[in-house]
Structure 1
């Protein structure tokens, strides 16, 4: 059975319900071994899958274009062909399809993935991934089909592994899509190519401090909600560039209430 998130009786994020529609997935992966593993995970999560391993097979198979697909999982490096060049023909043949760019998570791919988003890619799937991530992705695909956009995406940044993990698990249990990072630098790379609705960041971190990260996010992505976390309560009045302040330690109810409040209102652009 596919692993699924534990969901609350009071969903807060879009797509908090389990996947109800059986998806038909087109996987464009040039490695037959990886393609088979990926296909197996999607099938075990309740999807139908068609694997294509070469550009020739994609362009020359009449049976393929007669099929109906709800989503395409496109490897960024599809053999000798850039996955970017496949977004347009895939979207032209299946206008309602959800395009997902798949990457090996190399830092060299960030600029490529940013371009993929501009070309019409809806989501990003980073290798390696497991069935839990596949189940999560299927929920986002269904959310796009129903609402026109993926579930609300919250990025959590905390250099404490324990704090980051707990906040991530709580938010996921309420139906949010969540990405957790332990450095501001890694989080910024995520924001560069992936849609993000809110950032929850600790203020005191090595490397890029929370204050600098918040100012950068506000300057570049002005519509993203920002929540600052700190064990120092004085930061609540000293540092006002964030949309909300969450004192540490905090409980699950306080976390969900704060995130929900920030996502429910328009974010005011503030000067840093």
Structure 2
């Protein structure tokens, strides 16, 4: 028995078959729609758990129709796929796609590992009977990032991890984020500048800033206060207990 049903909206049958083979390897059934009109016909008859949609479908830009697709498939996980077009670069298209109400943004060609992560996430959503909130943990400490992510995952979040602000902002599959838990002091761009960029890109995302300060030069109080001034919605000081993280996240997401 198949693990789920996917709808692949792609005008190239070659590309659709590539995605289809990856889905079959994960024990998923799939159906192909080669236009937005075919997509709407399929959604009238079937309820896919997962939708892959190419940005450019002939003369149509599917980003203009994501709201309609979402309205017809409220519980589906939606992944946008793009290799750019003659008139738009991949990066500009990905940036625009991130602003839409989708769950993943994929740069073509994408790997089987990326496909497996999306499929597993869709299966987890289906088993819980709801779409999980997406949390992004940003910390250059692999230990802190892993423990923070595990706490959030144990409490029902879908979690992505980045070990720098640059990695977080560069990762094309981080499209729709509900909660960001970010360290402040990191190499590169760092947390303060990153928080400003995130708030300008995703104004509705909730940001929880965390810090243990910076040696003897900056206290954790001053660091988290600076993060709040940069646009963070709440603060938490390291080290924190799992229950403190979750209680803060609950209050933040309810505000």
Give the TM bin, normalised by the shorter chain: 0.5 to 0.7
Are 1:214 and 1:226, in contact at CA under 8 Å, matched by a contact in 2? no
Q: Unpaired segments of 5 or more residues in structure 2?
A: 84-89, 229-233
The SS at the match of 1:195 is coil
Residue 73 (1) aligns with residue 57 (2): no
Unaligned runs of 5+ in 1: 1-20
RMSD of equivalent CA atoms: 4.1
The match for 2:129 among 125, 141, 146 is 146
Name 1:135's counterpart in structure 2. Answer: 119
Distance 1:31 1:59 in 2: 15
Moved over 6 A (4+): 60-63
> Higher relative CO (CA 8 A, sep ≥ 6), structure 1 or 2?
1
Q: What TM-score do you get using the length of structure 1 for normalisation?
A: 0.63
Matches within 5 A, 1:112-261: 112-115=96-99, 117=100, 121-127=101-107, 128-129=110-111, 130=113, 131-139=115-123, 142=126, 146-147=129-130, 150-159=131-140, 162-163=142-143, 166-167=146-147, 170-171=150-151, 174=154, 175-188=156-169, 194-214=175-195, 217=198, 221=203, 224-230=206-212, 232=214, 235-239=219-223, 240=225, 241=228, 242-247=234-239, 254=241, 256-261=242-247
TM-score using structure 2 length: 0.67
> By how many angstroms is 1:133 displaced?
1.2
Mapped partners of 1:230, 1:168: distance in 2: 14
Deviation per CA, 1:73-101: give whole Å up to 9, x if none: 21112344322244366457x46463624
Which one of the candidate residues 257, 262, 265 is aligned to 2:248? 262
Cα distance per residue 1:109-129 (max 9 Å; x no partner): 2442145x2xxx442242424
